Structure 1
């Protein structure tokens, strides 16, 4: 090979220096290419107790790990030679539109993650054209969420509490504010054993202990935001002090039954969806009762550890009731490919909780925008690589659920 003296002009053509981004938040968020990247940023910027409340689940955290593994064990089967220069990610769910096949799941104590809380989530959802769900244990009122997302779709997640009048009042307020879907949550007779929270001594509001003071030194911006913004306002509870477990037990009632479902159905004028369904028989009974939808969910692994994996349960439930009611799914979704796989296996819609909260903790409203953008980009890319131009073209033929956990035969 003949060598030559490097040509300065050719070297200069290779040089490409980017203009430095001086805005620290924007620089952080632009560097995040995945939800896992946002999680890493969130962990650096959020006090341990608040981060662990978001990141953790119940007991040994087996349910959450299995749910995420189920999505990792997906094998896709792409088609070829199809025009996917444009893809349509829009869908309809529970009587209304969504520009993407996922929405924001209900999360409790959200302003403790980052002070913009549900306002950031609702605003970002509205801008993206997807639904936002407010939790009964949310830290922003129903009316303020409506103000943050005045023209978008707002949903309300309901715990039926021991004091029924509180729950009934929330239903009436959500209806008056124009929320179009109510998610009646049925997997929380009591609070799960969230051991990270117990070990951290996590309470509402957070207490200034020796450990939290030390944590403050590394994250002064979080405490500055917390101490200089509006006091936490729950969507429902008048009692706001105590450990997380105490607050959850105050809000939840182990005696709720199908009569409560009927009572709420009579009160609510919009779509009624039951969240926390974990077997086929219950799915069939709910469909026969005429609910507008069900959400297959084990509460993000935060209630019963070793609970069924919603993504594995999905095909059987779709076969049983898919023609009778709309089915959504949550738990373990960290990538747009997880969303696509769920739609292919028959889900009408998906909900993301932690993925949204990682964005919130990483950068407030801009972080939520970034999380939605990451997931949307992954949805589009996965669809194009599968060579499907719309969600309706996705079928079970596009996905194989590889199984690690196979039940032993009962003899």
Structure 2
């Protein structure tokens, strides 16, 4: 049994066990991948303030996200094709999140369907929606999420147009994979993954196949998906979706102070400061660098969450110190899932929780809700370098 001490350990095992096209799908950004890299490297510029001779007993990482109690301020982000990293991946990740006491967010582009995840879990999960041109499909999937008991809708705003990811094009990304010679040669070394996939019927986009008009199999799925992301998504359409949903609404993909103010004026329950993990607008600022500006713009008017670049509990602490109420992890839990299935997701959450707890103590804090700007040191110009 491998000794797992950090998220990087899980990443190495994930790379070894998952097919190349699915590992690359997770571990890539758009175009030059500048934003993808800086999402993580900008965290490294932030230093922590050590405090001593303080009582470090009785620590708590518990808090709330949109009024839901959580073990720590971390949710599992929506990640497409999660069920291709590991057989029944969304179900396994949701179960691990449920056991740990943090939210799981199911992607529209998941392999396991909304109904699959609801059947195999007890705690309500969140559902992430991509807005498609087909309004009937959008209305129907919202109703399916409501029927499944989803407790929040995470509406992604930054994928009206799909950013180009070179690796996906070169690998011929598809679900299930097309059996070209390079793919077959790769799969020959991934026998563990292959055996698990043979044991499940869930190998395509469960929320779409059989639910969208004209999509009855995988051959029609790829063309439908490429044409369906709605480039006309605006605040009027967001209002329509909010009315249709009627529950907690989180807006994901905010990377601009003006957009954050509009989201607050709109009355959403929360925003997620995010650049889609560097997978959309390459050259955009990292999420952690823009976070303080967005916090300054909207203050306490709306709950602020953050994702993109978080790989440790220290990263979580830094995001909280700069004003985020909570955080989301995507790749960090995907590494665990691809490495060890449900147990790997559990390990990823344990690693992040332990790092958050110990770092919080060494910064002189006993309650995660007390973290703030006083806990970190920023390099000159970190938040105002670009105008």
TM category (shorter chain) comes to: over 0.9
> What is the distance in 2 between the residues matched to 1:130 and 1:191?
29
Structure 1 residue 387 and structure 2 residue 364: aligned? yes
Q: Which residue of 1 aligns with 2:37?
A: 65
Alignment of 1:111-126 (within 5 A): 111-126=83-98
Q: Is the 8 A contact 1:190 1:248 kept in 2?
A: no
Superposed CA deviations along residues 167-198 of structure 1, whole A, max 9, x for unmatched, are 11111111122111111110001111010111
- Select the residue among 94, 99, 113 that pairs with 1:141: 113
Structure 1 residue 400 and structure 2 residue 372: aligned? no
Superposed CA deviations along residues 368-399 of structure 1, whole A, max 9, x for unmatched, are 11111111111111111111000121110111
Q: Greater CA deviation, 122-131 or 41-50?
A: 41-50
1:223 offset after TM fit, Å?
A: 1.6
What is the TM-score of this pair, normalised by structure 2? 0.94
1:236 offset after TM fit, Å?
A: 2.6
Alignment of 1:90-129 (within 5 A): 90-129=62-101
List alignment gaps of at least 5 residues for structure 1: 1-26
> What is the distance in 2 between the residues matched to 1:243 and 1:332?
34
CA distance change for structure 1 residues 292 and 362 in 2, over 3 Å: closer, same or farther? Answer: same
RMSD: 1.9
- Select the residue among 232, 243, 252 that pairs with 1:275: 252
Superposed CA deviations along residues 46-79 of structure 1, whole A, max 9, x for unmatched, are 1111110111111111111011011111101122
Secondary structure at 1:97 match in 2: strand
Please identify the structure whose Cα radius of gyration is greater: 1
Q: Which residue of 1 aligns with 2:339?
A: 362
Structure 1 residue 158 and structure 2 residue 129: aligned? yes
The alignment of Structure 1 onto Structure 2 pairs a total of residues equal to 381
> What is the distance in 2 between the residues matched to 1:99 and 1:394?
16
> What is the distance in 2 between the residues matched to 1:307 and 1:33?
32
Secondary structure at 2:42 match in 1: helix
List alignment gaps of at least 5 residues for structure 2: 210-214
Q: Is the 8 A contact 2:32 2:282 kept in 1?
A: yes
Structure 1 residue 375 and structure 2 residue 352: aligned? yes
Q: Is the 8 A contact 1:175 1:269 kept in 2?
A: no
- Select the residue among 157, 166, 172 that pairs with 1:195: 166
Q: Which residue of 2 aligns with 1:209?
A: 180
CA distance change for structure 1 residues 403 and 371 in 2, over 3 Å: closer, same or farther? Answer: farther
What is the TM-score of this pair, normalised by structure 1? 0.89
CA distance change for structure 1 residues 243 and 389 in 2, over 3 Å: closer, same or farther? Answer: farther
